A and B are shown apart, each in its own frame.
Chain A
Amino acid sequence: MRPAQRVYLREVLSGLGLTARHFFVNMGRHIAHALGRRNARGAVTIQYPEEHRGYSPRLRSLHRLVRREDGSPRCVACMMCETVCPAYCIYIVAGEHPNPEIEKVCEAFSIDLGKCVFCGYCVEACPEDAIRMDTGILGDAPRARARRTRREASVSGTHPPRPDPVACRPPSSSPSPPSPSPRPSG
């Protein structure tokens, strides 16, 4: 430690100076912004939820269940994703597949998007490449933070050229067709 730093008061004052400088600089920019200079941005604060920060184009936040050529899900209900999921948001019900070479299949595959943290571990853990995460905007789930689930039954198509956004629906209702409702990012 330098002797200058040993003098406590000096360091306190330099810290306060830093804070004060940001305060006055930001205040000046905010005033300029309010007076009509639109390119003058103050602090990095975003006025959520009126204002949104755009998602990165690389964000993968759309779960998609991949299907076999015959249209049945590739998922074999091994529960690897369910086990690895840090948010405990995957619920799989296993069933018997008529083909003994496949043996096991998921009867229901639900992801509670209200709980999902979009870590992508499920994709990494899957031994069958049965779950993927696609780029795209994720409906209103993160904003609403409502308990929304996606049933396996409501995922359509084998390999859709442009994947439908997550078909969200409350867990207890009957299967409904996917309702694409991408909210424009702000």
Chain B
Amino acid sequence: MEFHLINHPLDCPVCDQAGECWLQIYYMKHGLYEPRMTDDKVHKPKAVPLGPHVILDAERCILCSRCVRFCDEVTRTGELGIFGRGDRSEIGLFPGTELANKYSGNVVDICPVGALTDRDFRFQVRVWYLESQKSICPGCARGCNIEVHVNRRRPHHAQGRRVVRLKPRFNDAVNKWWICDEGRYGYGFVDDPSRLTAPLRRVGGKTLDVSWTEMFTLVADGLRRYTADEIGVIASPKMSNEDLFLLERLVDGLGVRAVDYRVPPAQPGDQDDFLIRADRNPNSRGAELIGLGRSDARAILNAARDRRIKCLWVFHHDLLASAWPEGEVLDALLGAETVIFQGTNANATSAHAHLTLPAAAYPEREGTYTNFEGRVQRFRQAFEPLGQALADWESLGCLLQAVQGAGRPSRAEECFRALAAAVPAYAGLSYRSIGDGGQMIATGSP
């Protein structure tokens, strides 16, 4: 302990690691509070950016070499090494390299002290102000287990963002201790100014705020006005199992056949043999199992262009940013008499919607995703939805009630129970059995 502290600076007050620093914890527990070292401390470089996400303070490093091992053994990119001898040893990059691999953020998590800190989180908020909630990364089909760290108590920090960082949560069967950088820094949309916060109705050139009650009536009337063949639904694999199941019941009741969830992205996602999956949606498997791939999304859009489909209901997707030609999609959106958009953030597609339903983002609600292997994993609510946004299962439950007079579920768990009873793949699963680690879907299902 004393040897570790010989050259360790006393800058805990400015160190981002303070509060979750192992050296600090051991010091408080076993500390020799009167230092016996009289020589000057060795000074080393401070605040050195190592890559796009990580910043190094060589003075604080205790040379445990975890980060070096991580880069050698986990990512196998080997950017980091220990240079120098004795008390002048320090962590550094090999010449000409940069810590820019796809998993570089993990070295911050494994660093026991504040030597490697996050540039994204740097000086944003002190860690003792944060609350944490178990969640699932919605960034790709892997569904890495994460913790959402939320700053609710000090809204003047971190520019008022509620989600300030994501941390991986250990799950041996999915992501071990790691997450990729794309997932780690992919939380920006939750507190983005583009979030939809109120149900909107576009009449002529004007956008009007409406209440949810009016909105449900408008949507229900809209759906009733058309025959089943005139309605097209493009569901989203970003929706949870509960949302998708209620949507399935709704379209089933209406007899709509033009339902699909597959929209190809403009840039096909890259994939590696570690965590990142090419499919950047968290719940494609769930949408497939629940049976929302009845038709083909492109055929639905073509039908809308030919005026065969008059009511187009789009969930979450930005169709104008997909791989499909923009002109075709625009024709389809302008061709449909009624375009309903339901999603968390405004985008180019929502600008063409006549009715816009704001949805809660994943940290604002409960739910489950089914990852590409068929593991059902639960994410929990960390804070209240923004504005009037509702979780998709809540708004779809109200619509089910308005259209079919069915009972409205009051909790996400109720939707999941109904899903487990109705879809064979989910038979026997419940929130309790899923727990923190997730559970595989029933064997033998597709």
Contact = CB atoms under 8 A, between A and B. Distances in A.
Are A and B co-members of a single complex? yes
A80 B13 contact: yes
Report whether over half of chain B's contact residues are helix, strand or loop; otherwise say mixed.
loop
Nearest to A94: B123
15 contacts: A76-B13, A78-B14, A79-B129, A82-B154, A83-B126, A83-B128, A83-B129, A93-B156, A94-B123, A103-B11, A103-B46, A103-B47, A104-B14, A104-B123, A127-B13
A128 B13 CA distance: 9
Interface string B108-127: 00000000000000111010
Interface string B11-37: 101100010000000000000000000
Contacts of B14: 76-78, 102-104
A46 B128 CA distance: 44
Contacts of A79: 126, 129
Contacts of B124: 94
A95 B123 contact: yes
A95 B122 CA distance: 9
A91 B47 contact: no
Given A83-B126, A95-B123, A96-B123, A78 B156 contact: no
The size class of the interface chain B forms with chain A is 10 to 19
A170 to B, nearest CB: 17
Contacts of B18: 78
Contacts of B157: 93-94
Given A76-B13, A83-B128, A100 B123 contact: no
A128 B129 CA distance: 21
B156 A91 contact: yes
Interface string A81-101: 011000000010111100011
Nearest to B16: A104
B18 to A, nearest CB: 8
A100 B46 CA distance: 6
A97 to B, nearest CB: 9
Nearest to B159: A93
A5 B18 CA distance: 60
Contact of A77 (B11, B46, B123, B129): B123
B41 to A, nearest CB: 12
Contacts of A76: 13-14
A86 to B, nearest CB: 14
B119 to A, nearest CB: 11
A175 to B, nearest CB: 18
A94 B122 CA distance: 10
Nearest to A82: B154
A82 B129 CA distance: 11
Contacts of A103: 11, 14, 46-47
B391 to A, nearest CB: 31
Interface in B342-357: none
Given A91-B156, A94-B123, A104-B123, A78 B13 contact: yes
B215 to A, nearest CB: 35
A178 to B, nearest CB: 23
Contacts of B122: 96
Interface string B153-172: 01011000000000000000
Contacts of B45: 100
B334 to A, nearest CB: 44
A100 B13 contact: no
Contacts of B129: 79, 83
A82 B122 CA distance: 18
Nearest to B9: A101
Contacts of B128: 83
Contacts of A77: 14, 123
Given A78-B13, A101-B46, 16 more contacts: A76-B13, A77-B123, A78-B14, A79-B126, A79-B129, A83-B126, A83-B128, A83-B129, A93-B157, A94-B124, A96-B122, A100-B46, A103-B11, A103-B47, A104-B123, A128-B13
